[in-house]
């Protein structure tokens, strides 16, 4: 495992400075950037004794692999690594029905980041994904997540179907998103302990994942487009579940 992580973008850096400032080793800021948002971050960094370096755009672009770093980059110790043992501890200690998001083979870090952002906004307790053939929380995913990756546990699992079976044994209902489902997201009961499973971009849920689900639900579509981007669909499902649960 890498000894450091590179976090870039105002929201991602702001989130780690707010929730875990002890992780941040140093900040790099674009030369001449003096707007209030960045100055506020630099003030928090100074309060926590974090080293600050002014750097050229060329140097920062190279460090962020030409991604949009918004003129702020943090070098940080890796955050907490979560596993299935943590997931079951989390479920044991919840004082409300579990609300989990499961991503079955989402490989685009932009989609992962957007799903993490929606998960945080909707009150999801954890995001679960297979270790293999899935996007991980790289700097791109963390930036798109706008800080959600620093507060919502992301839990990679070795065998997704087995992990879902264990959730079912704990009384969690597993609902999968699939275009051919009969129930719509608006007619399905999304209250109670719930794990919502979203499939990969294009191919959807894998066969074994689909067979493990307690039921399938769909978003009703009236236009000519046959499917939505996975992060958009995830937002629709999560916020309808949140509406019902409120």
Q: Is the dihedral of CA 37, 77, 106, 121 positive or negative?
A: negative
Q: Please tell me which residue, 37 or 184, carries the higher pLDDT value.
A: 184
> Is there a binding annotation on residue 155?
no
Residue 226 has pLDDT above 80, yes or no: no
Instruction: Give the containing element (helix H, strand E) for 44.
Output: helix 36-47
The band of 238, judged by pLDDT with boundaries at 50, 70 and 90, is very high
| The pLDDT value given to residue 174 | 98
Domains of the chain, by residue range, sit at 5-76, 84-245
CATH pick for 5-76 out of 1.10.10.10, 3.30.70.2700, 3.90.1110.10, 3.30.1330.30: 3.30.1330.30
| Predicted structure pTM score | 0.85
Sheet holding 183-184, edge to edge: 154-157, 126-130, 99-104, 194-199, 173-177, 215-218, 183-184
Q: How many Å apart are CA 171 and CA 181, to the nearest integer?
A: 22
Q: What percent of the chain has pLDDT over 70?
A: 98
Mean of pLDDT over the chain: 91
- Over the stretch 63-99, which tens digit does the pLDDT of each residue have? 887 678 889 999 988 878 889 999 999 999 999 999 9
The band of 37, judged by pLDDT with boundaries at 50, 70 and 90, is confident
CATH topology of domain 84-245: Alpha/beta knot (3.40.1280)
What are the residues facing 119 on neighbouring strands? none
- Over the stretch 113-164, which tens digit does the pLDDT of each residue have? 999 999 999 999 999 999 998 998 888 898 898 888 888 999 999 999 999 9
| The pLDDT value given to residue 64 | 82
| The pLDDT value given to residue 2 | 58
> Is there a binding annotation on residue 103?
no
The band of 214, judged by pLDDT with boundaries at 50, 70 and 90, is very high
> Is there a binding annotation on residue 219?
yes
- Over the stretch 189-211, which tens digit does the pLDDT of each residue have? 999 999 999 998 777 899 999 99
E-only strand ranges, 121-163:
126-130, 154-157
| The pLDDT value given to residue 203 | 78
| The pLDDT value given to residue 194 | 98
């Amino acid at each position: 495992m890498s000894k450091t992580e590179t976090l870039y973008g105002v929201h991602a850096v702001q989130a780690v400075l707010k929730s875990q400032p002890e992780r941040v080793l140093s900040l790099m800021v674009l030369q001449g950037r003096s707007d209030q948002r960045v100055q506020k971050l630099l003030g928090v960094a100074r309060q926590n004794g974090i080293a600050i370096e002014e750097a050229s755009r060329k140097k920062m672009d190279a460090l962020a692999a030409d991604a949009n770093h918004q003129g702020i980059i943090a070098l940080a110790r890796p955050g907490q690594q979560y596993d299935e043992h943590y997931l079951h501890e989390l479920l044991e200690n919840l004082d409300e029905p579990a609300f989990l998001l499961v991503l079955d083979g989402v490989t685009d870090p932009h989609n992962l980041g957007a799903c993490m952002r929606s998960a945080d906004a909707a009150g999801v307790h954890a995001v679960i994904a297979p270790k293999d053939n899935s996007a991980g929380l790289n700097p791109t995913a963390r930036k798109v997540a706008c800080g959600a990756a620093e507060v919502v546990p992301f839990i990679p699992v070795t065998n997704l179907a087995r992990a879902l079976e264990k959730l079912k044994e704990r009384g969690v209902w597993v609902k999968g998103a699939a275009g051919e489902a009969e129930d719509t997201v608006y007619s399905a009961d999304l209250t109670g302990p719930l794990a919502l499973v979203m499939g990969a971009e294009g191919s959807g849920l894998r066969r074994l994942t689909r067979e493990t689900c307690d039921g399938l639900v769909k978003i009703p579509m009236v236009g000519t487009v046959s499917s939505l981007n996975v992060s958009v669909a995830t937002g629709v499902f999560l916020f309808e579940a949140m509406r019902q649960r409120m």
